[in-house]
Structure 1
Amino acid sequence: MPQGSTRLPLKETSQEANSVSPLSDETRKAIVSLRQVHKAYKNGFNALTDINLEIQSGDFLFVTGPSGSGKSTFLKLLYGEERATAGDVMVNGLNVGGLKGDRLAALRRRIGIVFQDYKLIPRRTVAENVAFVLWAQGYGRQEIQRRLPPALKMVGLQHKADSFPDELSGGEQQRASIARAIVSTPPLVLADEPTGNLDADNSWQVIKILKKLHAIGITVIVTTHDESLIRLSNHPVVQIRNGHLYRPQPK
């Protein structure tokens, strides 16, 4: 066991939960719940072992750990990109492992996902990249035009709406990807190493945007290995090391 850490299962106490959520106790419920989750690959590698975790609606949680520790696998289990070998992965009250086709697509529409490498469409403008999500979900032109400006304003890219990805800095590209993730107002945002390709200033801008989303009631889960950002942000942290989940002890 790593020094200064305690093995989980983790369930926030009421005192801890109140300190990280803008929601009242009456409206808080588990939005993510993992019960004895194990993930093994065909080559025999155990990515995650006996993971027990409950995240309440409105929480902001950092998931940290060294490269290859299982952080990305953890997030992929939440949106169904990977399936658990054993155990239950519950998101929004649904067992993700049992979802396929339209039911899995419906769940993913309720989750905003931010990737380290942005995944913007090169030949579409910022506005078109963000609007594409709404179009794919069946929103009409009027509703898309209503939702687009607030999403761009949230990330500070109103003036870049007509720019293409290759005309943006790395920080701007990541902010565009955040706008794309939140434009449909999902209750849950997953950010996988969102600052991994950014310098310190742009990294903090990204974290500030995620904190703003949290302040309006969105549940945010961020994987990162950047300990300085974690210290500045002052939100709960869990560690994944060698496939196991730990809660760091205060120093």
Structure 2
Amino acid sequence: MPAVVSKAATEKSVHLQDSDTQQPSTSAAAMVQLRSVTKTYAQGNSVLLDVNLYLKQGEFLFVTGSSGSGKSTLLKLLYGQEIPTQGEVIVDQCNLGVLRGDRLSLLRRRIGIVFQDYKLIPQRTVAENVIVVLQAQGYTRKEIQRRLEPTLKLVGLLKKADCFPDQLSGGEQQRVGIARAIVGTPPLILADEPTGNLDPDNSWQVMQIFQKLNSFGATVIVTTHDEQLVRRCNHRVIQVRNGQLHQI
């Protein structure tokens, strides 16, 4: 098994519940919990209204909804870029509402984030874009090299390690973004519209990578508006609509 997901592979397969389902017992371990969460912005617009979500380690969840419905806000709450107006956001048994500074940074190391617009560094090669995360976290050169090759192999970019972003297709750039997100072996992967700029073939290739990571034990949450892709993958789906989470 590739080193990139070896830590996640020991986790158990599990079950998801949201606000449309019965609340699980408090004794059940969870990777993600939203407890009566409301998110209201300064203009008074409430994006999420008293929502609940329960997601155990090892689940694959699609989050759908129209533009502006709150999909991205939901993910931002999960990695601490946004804080809830009301309620609790708990990730990996940590309440994000009380985490600040170094404690929040440490939690974020356990979350891999993939963006729609790639967010690659143009002046750095594929390999350099991937290892920048490990360098920032103080990994040794030996450990960085140990992780780099299997990660690039997993996303199909081992032969392009020395290429720069402008030498890659859109699909390849997104796969670099995925490699960067997973090289630290996070147990939770959040992907915000990762196929939004890709054609169907590249979208499916990217989704296959997420499914492989999930099969190794990682928890994966993907926001998307691509209904065909969602149907093809056949994973659990919730829709953000009118500030609420509705299980599809």
Paired position in structure 2 for 1:214: 214
Contact 1:191 1:221 in 2 (8 A): yes
Q: Which amino acid aligns with 2:69?
A: S
Shift of 1:9: 4.0
Alignment of 1:102-251 (within 5 A): 102-248=102-248
Q: Could you say what secondary structure the match of 1:30 adopts? A: coil
Say yes or no: does 1:69 pair with 2:80.
no
Q: Which amino acid aligns with 2:72?
A: S
Whole-Å separation in 1 of the counterparts to 2:160 and 2:245: 40
Contact 1:11 1:55 in 2 (8 A): no
Whole-Å separation in 2 of the counterparts to 1:175 and 1:152: 9
Whole-Å separation in 2 of the counterparts to 1:140 and 1:243: 45
Say yes or no: does 1:50 pair with 2:47.
no
Deviations 1:83-106 (A, max 9, x none): 000000000000011111000000
Whole-Å separation in 2 of the counterparts to 1:8 and 1:111: 23
Contact 1:62 1:223 in 2 (8 A): yes
Paired position in structure 2 for 1:20: none
Whole-Å separation in 2 of the counterparts to 1:179 and 1:128: 11
Whole-Å separation in 1 of the counterparts to 2:21 and 2:170: 35
Shift of 1:243: 1.4
Residue 222 and residue 12 in structure 1: after superposition, are their counterparts in 2 closer, same or farther (change >3 A)? farther
Paired position in structure 1 for 2:92: 92
Whole-Å separation in 2 of the counterparts to 1:134 and 1:58: 24
Q: Which amino acid aligns with 1:198?
A: L
Paired position in structure 2 for 1:31: 31
Provide structure 2 residue ranges, at least 5 long, that are not aligned to the other structure: 1-17
Whole-Å separation in 2 of the counterparts to 1:41 and 1:68: 13
Contact 1:70 1:242 in 2 (8 A): no
Q: Which runs of 4+ in 1 moved over 3 A?
A: 9-13
Paired position in structure 2 for 1:60: 60
Shift of 1:233: 0.2
Whole-Å separation in 1 of the counterparts to 2:206 and 2:22: 27
Provide structure 1 residue ranges, at least 5 long, that are not aligned to the other structure: 1-6, 14-27
Overall identity of the aligned pairs, in %: 65
Shift of 1:132: 0.4
Paired position in structure 1 for 2:8: none
Deviations 1:109-142 (A, max 9, x none): 0000000000001100000000100000110100
Cα RMSD after superposing both structures: 1.5
Contact 2:152 2:179 in 1 (8 A): yes
Whole-Å separation in 1 of the counterparts to 2:168 and 2:243: 36
Say yes or no: does 1:8 pair with 2:10.
no
